[in-house]
Amino acid sequence: MSKEYKAEHIKVLKDLEAVRRRPGMYIGSTGPRGLHHLVNEVVDNSIDEVLAGYCREIEVIIHPDNRITVIDDGRGIPVDQHPIYKKSALELVMTTLHSGGKFDDKTYRVAGGLHGVGISVVNALSVFLEAKVYRDGKIWRQTYSRGKPTSPVEIIGDIEKEKSGTEITFAPDPEVFESIEFDYERISRRLRELAFLNKGVSIEIEDKRTGQRKKFRYEGGIIEFVKYLNQNREVLFPEPIYIEEERGRVYLEIAIQYNQSFIQDIFAFVNDINTEEGGTHLSGFKAALTRAINDYARKMENKEINIMGEDTREGLTAIINMKLPNPQFEGQTKTRLGNSEVRGIVDSVVYEGLTRYFEENPPIAKVILQKTVSASRARLAAQRARELTRKKESLGGGALPGKLAACSENNPQRNELYIVEGDSAGGSAKQGRDRKFQAILPIKGKIINVEKSHPVKVLNNDEIKAMIAAIGTGIKEEFDISKLRYNKIILMSDADVDGAHIRTLLLTFFYRYMQGLIREGHVYIAQPPLYKVTNKKKEYFLYSDGELNNLREKLKGEKIEVQRYKGLGEMNPEQLWEATMNPETRTLYRVSIEDAVEADELFSMLMGEEVEPRRKFIEEHATEVSELDI
């Protein structure tokens, strides 16, 4: 490598070269998430036309060769020549970063794609892209490959003057992406969400690979969204509370409904973007909710009750849907809203709306107050248990659970915590591990189902208390990722039905009480082997029947001994280390939340009170099971 570093070594990446060099900067990753982000970017352009009031129908088509087509009936991308750049606006938008009509508030009053990188990034990362524009009585077309035009902007036909819109077809570049296989369900979930957030808009998806087709249209908008989220729960009142108001240039709608669970689900959207990390709009909502319920409690002469914010959100399902010009997001990922003026607007609108609703609907107001007061009393009763989550002792301190086999190094960035099913497997894991950086916490049997249990009961459960103390971050409102003692939290259970149930119970606990662990990518699932095969004194650990069949084919009739593992406890420490704990040879799956709404729905359905949705899910997916070990 040359030590010289002169001006000639500085490279300026022209047009879309930067996107192809560093795609992760623009779409997050080159895995499935980044691939599907391309679809979102194109659809978001159509949704921006919806927000501007010009589009009512969107269609998404997945072709057999994994091309995607997105069609809308908006105004159509302009095709006339730009006065400064002397090229068609269509070509400019498709081939130039930070170009578009969203940098002032004349063309789009509100929009999600404010950075102007969306469609051009899709173009850069596609081996083929075709843009068709329907406007001014003509069909205009241009094609591209890897961000560069392969044809001029040309007229290819006539249409009725009234018809307008844009049609984008793209094929993702296999040189960029790990896989170009699109997931129909994943795309459907996002389209359904967009249909909820834009009432009356028709969004259709068709998968020409399988013939599947869905059409989403919700005249009730976010009211239907809340009902959808609560479909597997027992609600306190049938119709969600709905508040809608426009203040200045900010449009806000809120839908809330309480259920009998102990879980809070608040999803906040800004210009159709799910702000998963919240922001000023969410802060304003929480403050107004707490104040409105406290004021109503005082009117009802419950002055001795001290209701806190967390009490008012127990069993709450809420959607916050905000449209505003010039939102200030944290980065291109847009996960947190930063506009300071928004907090006061949301606070005022929600407080006034709820106060008015409580006065007009006393029976429902009383039901909400009873739920909140009950939560408040339970919180006070649980205070001692919650104190266990706030211990600040160091890794070797006395607050750690007695059955935790701690690691010797005090390096949270390197350390790992294995949560192991059963004392037998826990014993083998303790003996087989690398004591420097691997800690072992055995848990006995199936932990409490936090989806159906009151927080008091959850926090008094010995296994839960041991995990909270070992991990160190605290839970819920007190959760602090900076106090995490282990970079990897690894769930290790048997490869059978009971093991799968234990993993689901553990994941439900982490999702509901320590969601930040999953969001930050710290939760993993260990993959224990199903078989140990011995051939000529050589051992193979295999993780599926397919791997076993492949090995038999490879060895072609040679004598082999096959041992089928029924549980981790059957493996000696050396085998457990080699197969599931050695970083060089083990298989780990990182748990992620690709879709918070979908994750919430799934946990509620699988672990909640309602039996019928769970039975239906099992019936529908039973045929997908390739291995069942009972």
pLDDT on residue 63: 97
pLDDT, one tens digit per residue, over 27-69 is: 878 888 889 999 999 999 999 889 888 999 999 999 999 999 9
Does 423 participate in catalysis according to the annotation?
A: no
Query: Of the ranges 133-137, 154-158, 270-274, 541-545, which one carries the lowest mean pLDDT score?
Result: 541-545
- pLDDT surpasses 50 at 334: yes
Q: What pLDDT was estimated at residue 248?
A: 86
User: Rounded to whole angstroms, how far apart are CA atoms 500 and 588?
Assistant: 15
Closest by CA to 579, choosing from 451, 477, 492, is 492
**Rounded-to-integer distance, Cα 438 and Cα 581, Å:** 9
pLDDT on residue 208: 97
577-548-182 Cα angle (round to 5): 90
What does the pLDDT average to over 516-522? 89
pLDDT at 330: 72
Provide the mean pLDDT of the chain: 83
Q: Which one of the listed residues 496, 578, 600, 601 is annotated catalytic?
A: 496
Spatial contact of 236 and 365, defined as CB atoms under 8 Å apart: no
Q: What is the largest CA-CA distance in the chain?
A: 83
Question: Who's near 214: CB < 8 A, 6+ residues apart?
Answer: 188, 191, 192, 204, 205
> Which residue of the set 421, 451, 578, 600 is catalytic?
421
CATH code assigned to 17-216: 3.30.565.10
pLDDT for residue 421: 84
Residue tagged active-site, from 15, 17, 498, 547? 498
Which is catalytic among the residues 49, 72, 463, 494? 494
pLDDT band at 627 (very low <50, low <70, confident <90, very high): very low
Is 421 an annotated catalytic residue? Answer: yes
Average pLDDT over residues 265-284: 91
From residue 279, give the alpha-carbon distance in Å to each of 71, 340, 549: 33, 9, 52
Give the H or E element holding residue 438.
strand 438-443
DSSP β-ladder status, 57-62 and 68-72: antiparallel
Closest CA to 233 of 264, 196, 274, 255: 264
Q: Which CATH number fits domain 222-381: 3.90.1150.10, 3.30.230.10, 3.40.50.720, 3.40.190.290?
A: 3.30.230.10
Decide yes or no: CATH 3.40.50.670 for domain 386-528+589-624.
yes
pLDDT higher for 9 or 293? Answer: 293
Known catalytic residue at 272: no
425-463 tens-digit pLDDT: 888 899 999 999 999 999 887 788 888 888 878 888 889
Q: What are phi and psi of 68, to 5 degrees?
A: -120, 135
Q: What is the pLDDT of residues 399-428, one digit of tens each?
A: 567 689 999 998 999 999 999 987 778 888
Residue 92 near residue 101, CB atoms below 8 Å: no
**Is-catalytic flag, 136?**
no
Domain borders along the chain are: 17-216, 222-381, 386-528+589-624
Q: Does 222-381 match 386-528+589-624 in CATH topology?
A: no
